[in-house]
Chain A
Amino acid sequence: MARALRIKDHWREQQLFTGRLLVAILFVLGLTGLVVARLVQLQVGKYEYYSVQSSGNRIRVEPVPPIRGLILDRNGKVLAENTPSYQLEMTPEQVPDMADTLTRLVASGILPEGDLPELKEMVASRRAFDTVVVAERLTDEELAAFAVRRPHFPGLEIRARLGRSYPYGTAAAHLLGYVGGISADDKKTLDPAEYAGTTHVGKISVERSFEARLHGTSGHEDVVVNVHGRKMQVLDRIRSLPGQDVILTIDMDAQLAANQGLQGKRGAAVAIDPRNGEVLAFVSTPAYDPNALSAGLSRRAYLALQEDLDQPMFNRALRGQYPPGSTIKPMVALAALHYGVATSERRVGCRGAFSLPGSSHRFRDWKPEGHGSVDLYNAIEQSCDVYFYTVARELGIDRLGSFLESFGLGSVTGIDIGGEKTGLVPSVAWKKKAFRRPGEQVWFPGETVIAGIGQGYLLVTPLQLAHAAATIAAKGQRFQPTLFRGTRNGATGTIEYEAPRPLPPVPDQEPGQWDAIIEGMHGVLQGPRGTARAVGLNAPYQMAGKSGTAQVFTIGQKEKYNAKDVAERRRDHALFIAFAPLEAPRIAVAVVIENGESGSKVAAPIARAVMDAYLKNPS
């Protein structure tokens, strides 16, 4: 075979090898050229680009949340503040023996044993240098217990955190609301840059409505972080600006008096300054504990609040809708005067019941034997139902309704916290729209009759009722109810006040018409036969008012109402409106007590207490 016969030709092989070596050198140089070209491309050509990328990697902007503004009452009393609470924090990477440390924490009584699994899970899921909260809101005893053992717990330390606290607790809960963790819903409306470091946001009522003023301006820190996110160095720091302090129109003396009166009851009390619409007291009971809610409730505790039959989360002052009952009568009387249906001299005979012509249905008076012959003053003072059945029928529902609307009933008052209900002022057109079956769409004359005493479809909120009382006190002048008196700059102390916002007044009245109904309301409290004269006794000032007792459910024609037989929750609601001092009113109050049975006996004393508390201080 030719191949086998070949012998090595050393000189030729050397030549061949040298040639191949040259090719290899060219190959090496060529690929090296590629590598160098790539280096130049990355380090010279795209240097700027990669420099930016490198900075983006390591520099992180960390937000510094602002301190939330305080909430004050009109006299400077602090209603909401930020108080430090002490919590025990652990940095896992600094703890030499985690299992041993946890065991000893439980043994020393600082860490409840039940919290152990959750804590272990948290330690496992976080990064080793992230602090983990071991125990929140330490008591003085717990603080002391830890302090003496501190050297034995490396990696653990006490930290002070600012939390929202409400010194008056439940007494101002529905007024102030509370703060809570930022939810997905909250995020939709909040500026993500301003809230990047903020953990809590106002959830409801004042805390929510004035969130923008209370929150403040976020600052930030530019920090160098490593790949795990650990802070290595602070490059720059922009301080945050604290939020403004919000001064409310609330007078805490009046608020506490209202709260005191409503203790143990389901109800609401609202007091308004008739001269400018400033809300002086705003109470709804029962209430939740805003301190507990702001600190964070367990799911179970929150559900329990939600499912409580007494509805402590329900703001009755703002959202509760009740038949006004007899508290509507001064306004009905004014409508009768306005439309010429009645004069202050007109008398109506009351024999305990009223029937429409051609009908046998008896509309009962609260006083079965009747009031006899009553004029406007008597009708208000003694709350004669038959008088108001009579004038209401003559007014007709549409005239009566539109007149009540001029007091702000049937629409929101525009108070500066959200969620307000409108109540309801019925009309012929409303009924046609509200009911589906043709038979129910017809307005019956009897429905006008009962509207005259604040029953039937008519619904008002306690806030609307207080607003109406203030409007009567101001003889038709109306102001938008407001909780916001002004702001105080926490740093400079500068206070800025808000001007009152007038609303369209109740249509002009002939001279003396306002005085006629106010005189009647004065009689209620301080007249010889007033329904609430017991409450008006021994007052250092003159006052006017009107009681109301609203039926929660209808009694049959022949039955007799017996409070003892009716389950507590089916009893009548008790209402009362009042204002004082008579000659120059500074406060108007509305009190509603669910199933309170008697406006003059149950609701009126609370109204009196609120007025006493407020008027004891000179304006």
Chain B
Amino acid sequence: MNTPAFGISLEPRSRVERGLLGRALRFLHLDGWLLVGIGGVLLISLLALYSAEGQQLTELLDQVARMLVAFGALLFMAQISPNWLRRGSPLIYALGIVLLVMVMATGDIGKGAQRWLDLGVRFQPSEIMKLGLPMTLCWLLHDRPLPPSFGVLVVVVVLLVVPVGLIAEQPDLGTAILIVLSGAVVIFLAGLGWKYIAAVGALTGAAMPALWLVMHDYQRKRVLTLLDPESDPLGAGYHIIQSKIAIGSGGIFGKGWLNGTQVQLEFLPERHTDFIFAVIGEEFGLLGALALLLLYLLIIGRGLYIAAGAPDTFSRLLAGSLSVTFFFYVFVNTAMVMGMIPVVGVPLPLVSAGGTSMVTLMAGFGILMSIQTHRKLVAR
């Protein structure tokens, strides 16, 4: 029996494992707590989307279909043992790089940015990198002594810069930042020295002005809009103003499902995608928003618990990285919708309409489940 980290156990393992449900979950390599959290979030997603999409059942069914596809990805990843995942990591990374280069060369242009690749199905190769990069870094660090040496760090930086550069060039700043963060989480969890962390922090601070210079106009505008949304109430500031009105006017208990005036009268833009958190805030109020955050914390907490109990460096780092990165998604979107950080175009994970990012996320959860459910076979 493996000893969980911190000496605590979140569930009475023996009882669950004895029941029929427990055996079914074990057979499918699924994790009950993660499923509960994911299921709860998806349920809220369907409620919010039905309201945001003008109560159209067809749109909702589309999203259910995407959820099923994404669950298929989860199920698939959960069956692959962490050892195989580790061995496959560089391949996934290489595939991602090739596809990103193809995007640069031939990709479709959607909403002014060149992000999409049409290979039978249209998808964004940057999504592959969301998993491929942290996996590859974990693979790299797996049998190297930790904390990582300087030489290893140089390799890490190179592995990071190539895809991030390609993605930022599309331009897709939001995804680029999230991928940098996922990499940063990996080396932070790997025990990167505090002096490096301090140095990177100082460098980042110093690089801000330089970053301002290389930013696109629309990106600068978003930053300025954050500082003073009322300066451009009908232009760039409109999204933030309307979403703050939606959330603020929801109050503690919300206006009620399908009763949000900001949503139903279409004042809230991008309400079924990036700004769906404002739909939840308006219609379900503070209580609804907190419930959603609690479900997210359950997923993240469970992910970190799995990381703490993982048997080897690769699994440990990857589980931790996936969980913390997932939290970043949640934070960046909610903070953006509430006007705390600039609008970066990151969807609310599992809740915003759309298939690509959900497939990636669910595949990530499949990896977490694989780590959790295969460890007896691996570690013993």
Contacts and interface: CB of A to CB of B under 8 A. Distances in A.
Interface of A: 3, 6-9, 13, 16-18, 20-21, 23-25, 27-28, 31-32, 34-36, 38-40, 42-44, 46-47, 49-51, 53-55, 57-58, 224-228, 232
B99 interface: no
B267 A58 contact: yes
A422 to B, nearest CB: 53
B266 A39 contact: no
Nearest to B332: A31
B338 A39 contact: yes
Q: Which of A32, A58, A226 has the most CB of B within 10 A?
A: A32
Contact of A35 (B149, B191, B313, B335): B335
A42 B262 contact: no
A39 B281 contact: yes
A224 B307 CA distance: 52
B174 to A, nearest CB: 17
A42 B289 CA distance: 12
B150 to A, nearest CB: 8
Given A47-B249, A226-B266, 8 more contacts: A28-B327, A31-B327, A38-B338, A46-B248, A54-B248, A58-B261, A224-B265, A232-B265
A35 B250 contact: no
Interface string B66-110: 000000000000000000000000000000000000000000000
A17 B192 CA distance: 10
14 contacts: A16-B191, A17-B146, A17-B191, A27-B324, A35-B293, A35-B331, A38-B338, A39-B289, A43-B247, A43-B252, A46-B248, A47-B249, A57-B265, A58-B267
Nearest to B246: A54
A478 to B, nearest CB: 62
Interface of B: 5-6, 143-147, 149-151, 185, 188-191, 242, 244-252, 261-262, 264-267, 281, 285-286, 289-290, 293, 297, 300, 304, 307-308, 313, 316-317, 320, 324, 327, 331, 334-335, 338, 340
Nearest to A25: B304
B245 A50 contact: yes
Contacts of A227: 265-267
Contacts of A20: 188-191, 320
Q: Which of A8, A225, A232 has the most CB of B within 10 A?
A: A8
B244 A42 contact: yes
Contacts of B264: 226
A43 B308 contact: no
A8 B316 CA distance: 15
Closest 7 CB pairs of A and B: A50-B248, A54-B249, A226-B265, A16-B191, A227-B266, A42-B248, A6-B145
A30 B34 CA distance: 22
B138 to A, nearest CB: 12
Contacts of B327: 28, 31-32
Contact of A38 (B143, B262, B340): B340
Nearest to B142: A8
Q: Which of A13, A40, A58 has the most CB of B within 10 A?
A: A13
Contacts of A49: 248
A594 B143 CA distance: 114
Contacts, number: 143
B282 to A, nearest CB: 8
B248 A51 contact: yes
A225 B266 CA distance: 10
Contacts of B285: 43
Contact of B250 (A6, A36, A43, A228): A43
Contacts of B300: 28
Contact of A228 (B244, B266, B334): B266
Given A8-B146, A42-B248, A226-B265, A31 B188 contact: no
Contact of A40 (B151, B286, B308): B286
Question: Which secondary structure dominates chain B's binding surface?
Answer: helix
Contact of B320 (A24, A47, A224): A24
A607 B316 CA distance: 113
Given A3-B151, A31-B331, A58-B261, A9 B248 contact: no
A612 to B, nearest CB: 68
Nearest to A52: B249
B191 A3 contact: no
B248 A57 contact: no
Contacts of B304: 21, 24-25, 28
Nearest to B300: A28
A42 B248 CA distance: 5
A1 to B, nearest CB: 10
Contacts of B191: 13, 16-17, 20
Contacts of A35: 293, 331, 334-335, 338, 340
Given A21-B189, A24-B304, A38-B338, A51 B320 contact: no
A460 B228 CA distance: 67
B252 A24 contact: no
A173 to B, nearest CB: 46
B297 A32 contact: yes
Q: Which of B146, B289, B327 has the most CB of A within 10 A?
A: B146
Contacts of A34: 335, 340
A36 B290 CA distance: 7
B278 to A, nearest CB: 10
Contacts of A25: 304
Given A21-B307, A21-B320, A13 B146 contact: yes
A25 B262 CA distance: 35
Q: Which of A23, A28, A228 has the most CB of B within 10 A?
A: A28
A53 B245 CA distance: 6
A334 B65 CA distance: 106
Given A34-B340, A35-B334, A232-B265, A18 B5 contact: yes
Nearest to B338: A38
Given A17-B189, A24-B324, A54 B261 contact: yes
Nearest to A28: B327
Nearest to A7: B145
A233 to B, nearest CB: 10
A135 B285 CA distance: 50
Contacts of B334: 35
A8 B313 CA distance: 10
Nearest to A22: B6
A44 to B, nearest CB: 6
Contacts of B251: 43-44, 47, 51
Nearest to A19: B191
Contacts of A16: 146-147, 191
Contacts of B250: 43
A38 B243 CA distance: 13
B252 to A, nearest CB: 6
A8 B145 contact: yes
A23 B290 CA distance: 23
A141 to B, nearest CB: 43
A225 B151 contact: no
Nearest to A50: B248
A229 to B, nearest CB: 10
Contacts of B149: 3, 6
A43 B248 contact: yes
Contacts of B262: 54, 57
A567 to B, nearest CB: 64
Nearest to B249: A54
Contacts of A40: 286
A39 B308 contact: no
A39 B286 contact: yes
A54 B260 CA distance: 10
Nearest to A4: B149
A9 to B, nearest CB: 7
A5 to B, nearest CB: 10
B249 A21 contact: no
Q: Which of A38, A40, A46, A58 has the most CB of B within 10 A?
A: A38
A53 B249 contact: yes
Nearest to B192: A20
A43 B265 contact: no
Given A8-B145, A13-B313, A34-B335, A24 B248 contact: no
